[in-house]
Amino acid sequence: MTKRAASIAVGEKNASLEMRSGTMGPDVVDVTALYKDTGVFTYDPGFSSTASCESKITYIDGDEGVLLHRGYPIDQLAEQGDFLETCYLLLYGELPSAREKSDFIYRVTRHTMVHEQMSRFYSGFRRDAHPMAVMVGSVGALSAFYHDSTDIADPHQRMVASIRMVAKTPTLAAMAYKYHVGQPFVYPRNDLSYAENFLHMCFAVPCEPYKINPVLARAMDRIFILHADHEQNASTSTVRLAGSSGANPFACVAAGIACLWGPAHGGANEAALNMLTEIGTKDRIPEYIARAKDKNDPFRLMGFGHRVYKNYDPRAKIMQQTCHEVLDELGIKDDPLLEVAMELEQIALHDPYFVEKKLYPNVDFYSGITLKALGFPTTMFTVLFAVARTVGWIAQWKEMIEDPHQRIGRPRQLYTGATLRDYKPVAARG
């Protein structure tokens, strides 16, 4: 990493800072000394111009629509690899050898069961609870069951916790779905792949054998790959900040799930499908495009826009292909939601408002149609995002914990509240 001197003059004071270059992407100005040298803070509430950390895991070029995991393009990983291989890559930094891959699959597969007490934990929720609420609770509760992998100073325990998180979130997610629909929990099976096992735990019932559809299982696996990690997004930053205090990884991932739930972030896939359903038919699209442009209307086109991508989200292209594959396999012709989505996309891609603001479809735009076709209710869409993103959160958490320069994250503020004033007894307040 190359370093160069930089300086900033603030009034009469000068701060001697340092410019640092990574292997790709924008350089950074290290402002660590700014406050000490000048007495001022930087101000960047949405972190649009702020690098919160150094990382080697994922690189995004928003202008070019590039997404690399440890240097490998997302389209190559999605088309040629599989999700557990991507998990290994994110966690260890290299693609596994054949032996490393089979060993990793063995270890993850044999951690997919959860403590039997967890099933009673679920019975405390209302049946109509949103599955994301159940996931926040159940993933956070893992730290109550797996004390032997919460010592974050122990590399072995960190890796055991990482494997447990990757292995158990699908089981907890499937249990949240089964509880939601009032069906019995289905135990994981060691003879199935990660995606096959997840579909089996969600859709198998005791009354008849569940037949795995390889095309749908492949699509599910690819959807997991597309959502695995995405640099320092809001939920990953939440996990890093929670982890910087030394909190255990299960609690940190629960915090990430809570953040992901928001409609501006992972909740957008549920919101996008609800939006397409509300639009209903192509002839109503202009009304919603007008609303999206209206400054007085809070409505936004869900599944469009991105803080980083000012070009087409590379995941959205693969998601669209996967959507067509799933609909074709299921014989779903002329899906009205897909017709509305494709028409909306074409209109938005040529509308000056969206072109000028560089608003393109993101990963959430087509995922909802695909997940609905796979049989999931909209309330499960963000849960699936959380299952996939768990490996990204954990890989980023591990990278932070293993950084020798890591300190607790503690931002400052621009204070604009009341200045010093004395307390007034209630009788004197008028």
Q: Which residues are catalytic?
A: 306, 364
Give least dist CB 421 to ligand SDX, A: 35
Angle between helices 214-226 and 381-401 (to 10 degrees): 50
Question: Does residue 86 contact residue 225 with C-beta atoms inside 8 Å?
Answer: yes
Looking at beta carbons only, is 154 or 297 nearer to ligand SDX?
297
Q: Which residues of 152-163 are buried (b: 16+ CB within 10 A; e: fewer)?
A: beeeebbbbbbb
355's tokens: 């072109």
Question: Does residue 80 contact residue 96 with C-beta atoms inside 8 Å?
Answer: no
Looking at beta carbons only, is 111 or 265 nearer to ligand SDX?
265
Residues that bind ligand SDX (CB under 6 A): 46, 230, 233, 264-266, 268, 292, 300-308, 357, 359, 362-364
Taking the C-alpha atoms of residue 14 and residue 40, their distance in angstroms, rounded to an integer, is: 11
3-state secondary structure of 406: coil
Give least dist CB 230 to ligand SDX, A: 3
3-state secondary structure of 227: coil
| Sign of CA pseudo-dihedral 244, 245, 247, 253 | negative
Residues 6+ apart with CB under 8 A from 294: none
Looking at beta carbons only, is 41 or 47 nearer to ligand SDX?
47
CA dihedral in degrees (255, 257, 259, 264; nearest 10)?
170
Q: One-letter amino acid identity for 272?
A: A
3-state secondary structure of 375: coil
E strand or H helix at 273, and its extent? helix 268-279
Give least dist CB 58 to ligand SDX, A: 9
DSSP letter string, 122-148: HTTS-TTS-HHHHHHHHHHHHHHH-GG
Looking at beta carbons only, is 247 or 292 nearer to ligand SDX?
292
63's tokens: 């202008």
Give least dist CB 243 to ligand SDX, A: 17
The residue sitting closest to ligand SDX, measured at its beta carbon, is: 305
202's tokens: 């969600």
Residues 6+ apart with CB under 8 A from 380: 131, 173, 176, 177, 180, 371
Looking at beta carbons only, is 121 or 381 nearer to ligand SDX?
381
Taking the C-alpha atoms of residue 418 and residue 430, their distance in angstroms, rounded to an integer, is: 19
Looking at beta carbons only, is 81 or 303 nearer to ligand SDX?
303
Give least dist CB 12 to ligand SDX, A: 35
Give least dist CB 224 to ligand SDX, A: 13
Give least dist CB 158 to ligand SDX, A: 23
Looking at beta carbons only, is 20 or 307 nearer to ligand SDX?
307
